[in-house]
A and B are shown apart, each in its own frame.
Chain A
Amino acid sequence: MGERVVERTEEVIGAAMPPARSWVGALWLRFRRFVSRIPLHVTLIGLAIIWSVPTIALLISSFRTPQAIAASGWWNAFKIPFHFTAANYHSVLTQQGMGRAFVNSIVIAGPVTVLVILIAAFAAYAFAWMRFPFRGGLFLVMVGLLVVPLQMTLIPVLRLYVTLTPHITLPVLGGNLFGVSSFPGIWLAHTAYGLPFAIYLLRNFFGSLPKDLVESAYLDGASDVGVFFRIILPLSVPAIGALAIFQFLWVWNDLLVALTLLGDPRLYPMTVNITNLVSSFGSNYQVLTAAAFVSMIVPLIIFFALQRYFVQGLLAGAVKG
């Protein structure tokens, strides 16, 4: 099949151009091909550069002195003498609360990722391999829940948390045990919001695993718990990896839920902290650029280290519609 395609390509090129008899002709052909492809390269490389410039501008500026940022554009940073400094980072991490906020972002996103995967995997196993009444209907409701705007849930959840908070006064991780301004409160909310997508993705993956394997395990007397932990989970590492990355980044990058449910500045994740810095330091870009880049480090590391899982997750997720 491959050979036939190559033949055809040569036929087409041969029809349009004189046959290459010597190395001069061959070179001419390659030159013509190169020239005809220049617009393609210009468009593609141009767009790639345009897309990169904003991020590069931020990164470079974050290492410039406050005086330099206020006086000239980031493109002047490469004029000799160079003068780069990490002072902006020191200042946002220690004085502007980004250090604490970084820890808070991890404390919020980490447990949520584990909870979502565990709870969703249990439910997805039931949906994929068990028969029970209303299975189809229940799953359709979940497909519907995939796209329900979070805004539909925030007022009642906040009201509930506000009512509960005075009755619970047990400090956990610097916040309350539950309710407003508590880590467990935001864990549960984020977990619930992540579940429809996670169950949908894992159920589709579990359902695509070989049926014979699962059924022969049942016939050999394996229990549901055994099948789940010894067969389903080990075979689903790619899907779970992709889901873990997505769920983690989703919570890491969230602003709306944290802004609504966390009232205590000591618990703010980086997104909320930066939003407040924007309102108080609107044009102090030595603070804002460094703060923004601190929040981008983890997503960028994940992106470059796990790009394949990232793209896989995106492809699986796009099915949700």
Chain B
Amino acid sequence: MIGRRWWAPWLWLAPALMLMAAFLVYPSIDTIRRSFLGPTSKTFVGLDNYKYIIDNPAPLLADTHSAILNNLLWLVLFTGLVVGIGLILAVLAARVRYEAVAKSAIFIPMAISFVAASVIWRFMYVYDPHIGTINAFVTYLGGHPTAWIQNTNSLQTWFTSLGPTTLPHPIQIDNSALIIVGVWMWTGFAMVILSAGLKGISTEILEAARVDGANEWQLFRRVIVPMLSSTIVVVTTTLVIQALKLFDLIWVMTGGTFKTDVIATLFFRESFLVQNFGVGSALAVVLLLAVVPVMLIGIRRFQFQEETR
């Protein structure tokens, strides 16, 4: 508007800027400050809180190493499985007439809370094969029931129990039973986004490739995946953030016991149950540092979008 007063835009922005400053910007700076202070934020302790996370002096109370390893495991397995299965589902569903129904079935878990999903899956994982669906299926196939969420390396234990001799466990951390729940919830998300990207690829290109003699696998590998690459990046970055911030699922399913802790559950316990604000803040800063690369990718892509608008 011509003749608008200079302060007019700030009036429109004021409520949002004030809330974000009070609840996001200022607290984040304060958390960084507290990460260099003691348990009650009164004494300066330098890098001691970070040293605590690296040295892991009390693994029985707060196992920082296994929390970080678990987050890495989530990052790789959760993101990889969700993107992989989501991509396959998007491509397959586009070829059948009941696409909408099939997609709905996969997508529904996305609407419910992690808390409800945790109850659903605790029930699926019940040890008694007369009640627990997974163990009923396992015993039906001739296997032994497994305490999926109580056993630190349930999937490995189960696989090794199938073999003739007991094999050594190469990795002592295994969240596979919990990661499956995360995959169950988020695959619908990846599928819907990738499916929308797939609809953007013109049928002419696909037909041209078929006429040139490409089989379906080549079509998928050489045409569909490269053309969807930017969509795949978007989905992957969203999932990476989810994998890093993950809290609810583990808090409700195991409470972080049986070596299932991640950084976010450790943060909650240290900050609000143990009330050690120093270590709690340092754990939050570790999460922030892990997110920074994703943040930079997001800002770069945003700037690129703005230039090409």
Contact = CB atoms under 8 A, between A and B. Distances in A.
Interface of A: 1, 5, 8-9, 11-12, 37, 40-41, 43-45, 47-49, 51-55, 57-58, 61, 69-75, 119-120, 122-123, 125-127, 130-132, 135, 140, 142-159, 188-189, 191-193, 195-196, 199, 218, 222-224, 227, 249, 252-256, 259-260, 270-271, 274-275, 278-279, 283, 285, 288-289, 291-293, 295-296, 299-300, 302-303, 307, 310-311, 314-315, 318-321
Among B13, B105, B193, B247, max chain A CB count under 10 A is at B13
A52 B105 contact: yes
Contact of B9 (A126, A153, A222, A255): A126
A318 B234 contact: yes
B238 interface: yes
10 tightest A-B contacts by CB? Answer: A192-B23, A253-B113, A123-B16, A153-B27, A321-B298, A156-B27, A292-B119, A126-B12, A132-B9, A48-B105
Contacts of A144: 295, 298-299
Among A11, A123, A151, A311, max chain B CB count under 10 A is at A151
Contact of B299 (A11, A132, A140, A285): A140
Contact of B12 (A12, A125, A259): A125
Interface string B162-192: 0000000000000000000000100111001
Contacts of A119: 15-16, 19
A11 B210 CA distance: 11
Nearest to B31: A152
A45 B92 CA distance: 11
Contacts of B147: none
Interface in B270-287: 271-272, 277, 280-281, 283-285, 287
Nearest to B121: A54
A54 B203 contact: no
A146 B184 CA distance: 25
B88 to A, nearest CB: 8
Interface stretch (B58-66, B128-136, B152-160, B220-228): B128-136
Nearest to A53: B133
Interface of B: 1-2, 4, 6, 8-10, 12-13, 15-17, 19-20, 22-28, 30-31, 34, 85, 89, 92-93, 95-96, 101-102, 104-116, 118-124, 126, 130-133, 136, 184, 187-189, 192-193, 196, 203-204, 207, 210-211, 233-235, 237-238, 241, 244-245, 247-248, 251-252, 255, 264, 267-268, 271-272, 277, 280-281, 283-285, 287-288, 291, 294-295, 297-299, 301-303
Nearest to A295: B116
15 contacts: A47-B89, A47-B106, A54-B123, A55-B108, A72-B131, A74-B133, A126-B9, A148-B28, A152-B31, A152-B287, A157-B23, A191-B19, A222-B1, A274-B119, A314-B110
Contacts of A156: 26-27, 30-31, 34
Contacts of A288: 119, 122-123
A81 to B, nearest CB: 20
B211 A151 contact: no
Nearest to B1: A218
A259 B268 CA distance: 10
